[in-house]
Structure 1
């Protein structure tokens, strides 16, 4: 019995090795003024990115030819070591021929805890995949066509201390158990549409979401700051543009997050009447967070189907336009 079990484990290990290609021995460069990098004895790459302007980057070049044909996921494990959450643009550059090069990016969140990433190659319209960003003239924009992997490039828009390890290509996702993989596949087939809508639509598709910033006074509590961070994070995934949180109103289009104590404590509302001031209100800090998630569902089509990252559906729509609207709601069941 024990011999058979060991043989079974050996077979599983062999199958996993056959379906993965480790990536190592990178030729790493951090441009002058962008910070520093170091490879430790345990194989971990430690990056300290310090943007001289809008962003900072490190380039992990391939030391030998690595082909993308036949591989479905780029995998790695990462964490921040400055105890901050960082939203990074993770770029991949590939070459089909000498005159056909292209770069693709994926938006990822790196947290203080080690986290495994499996970024799907060749699905530009799905969360966790790569989108084309630039390339040579007449560049092929489809990453699923394979080609030679030239480099990987994490980019930060703020100072960040990060660690990366265990880079590989694989034919299956490596960050989920079997049950999670099945569930994730079902969720990825979920329709990218918006069945929920605001209670009162005054004018449909009146104003682009692009260009809004989030206003939250500096003296607000932790719950309100979390609500602002969540709103910023998901909106950036939807439109692939920065939606900053600011302590003073700035710009022509502002998202105001407001707590107005009243009963019932978990009721919330939202409105956009003039095309410039979007207001999300809650009768309590918790209700404000409800208002944020409700807005993301109704305005952007975001879905929270399972309490895990793969259980979220975040449609990407770079040209998303908001209606002029009014809305109010409250949870059907109170929090316990």
Structure 2
């Protein structure tokens, strides 16, 4: 996926005001609108201009884009890093994945679905806000209280983009799973005419973990075993955030086999499963004794894994 420099598309500097961006858009729209333009690539250029304006005219998307795009050049290979949008507080307006599909892959990857997920307007009640937070998997096993800092972009009196930061102490319930939403009542936009404030919806994502990979309520883990544990079977201990669990290795277990331990995944209601991918690890033949044992097996077992199916 190629990085797109929306400022370059509109021909404005990165510190351009909202009014500067609007003027640039109108100028380019008059030049490239397919109904009036004689440029041969007018339709494509107009799509690019519309896309750039959709981001830079929106303080929330612009702030996220500014943080994400530092150091990249137009056309450079680009993949958004995990958690790029963490800490940004978005209001309810935005693009659904279907609407974002009308723009480039770059736009759809970044902004498809940022807005319009679970936001409501209830009479004169304030609008619900949304933010994505990243937690450690261990928080799901124990529950926790975390201090979460959120940045809400807005335009100042000069049309310049500024970020307001607030910090909230958030109670993380035990058993929270990825994609689950934690609702903080009254922490969204203020209401009007005496209406209640909106809510803040925190969508949970997990930080990358060196051992565990969550999939819904299930938890995936690679399980290294010795050749004799795989061949003869046995009981091994697997360390989880909730403590060790004993797992039975069936005799004749091949590398790559998946062992399911029911109820030992994310401790939600109902709990998920623990899925263990077996990896048979060979001891090194780095001593005379170890080498002699391998040579003995080679002579006596007469085993050839390349025979048969």
TM-score by length of 1: 0.24
> Could you say which structure has the greater relative contact order, defined with CA pairs below 8 angstroms and 6 or more residues apart?
1
Per residue, is there more helix in 1 or in 2? 2
Per residue, is there more strand in 1 or in 2? 1
TM-score by length of 2: 0.25
